[in-house]
A = this chain, B = another copy of it.
């Protein structure tokens, strides 16, 4: 590819991957980061603020996630002390760990292919 490009160093292979269910998306990098923020803050609303997205959007993503999993990846509680909260379940942590692995290997793939297209 190098000889086709005016500045090969400015080009790179990039992309996205996600786990897809029967009909809709299940888990990608966006949802992964959302889970991480929920884990860090214990709240969907705080996670949404941290990521600069609306609470509704974050909540919808959580719904989609839980609806497709055999058991909930996050557990929410409404009302009560400090209004409620949300925690990532052990299942959620496992999904987190597995997708982090996929993501890391994907980044390695992209880096390798970028090297190849520059040589």
Given contacts A4-B73, A4-B91, A102-B117, contact A11 B21 (CB under 8 A): yes
* Copies of chain A in the complex: 2
Secondary structure call for the A interface: mixed
Contact residues in B for A53 (Cβ distance below 8 Å) = none
Q: Which of A7, A22, A102, A110 has the most CB of B within 10 A?
A: A102
A interface bracket (residues with beta carbon within 8 Å of B)? 35 or more
User: Distance in Å from the Cβ of A25 to the closest Cβ of chain B?
Assistant: 9
Complex: A20 Cα to B15 Cα, angstroms: 9
Selected contact of A98 from candidates B17, B20, B105, B117, CB within 8 Å: B117
**Cβ contact within 8 Å between B12 and A15:** no
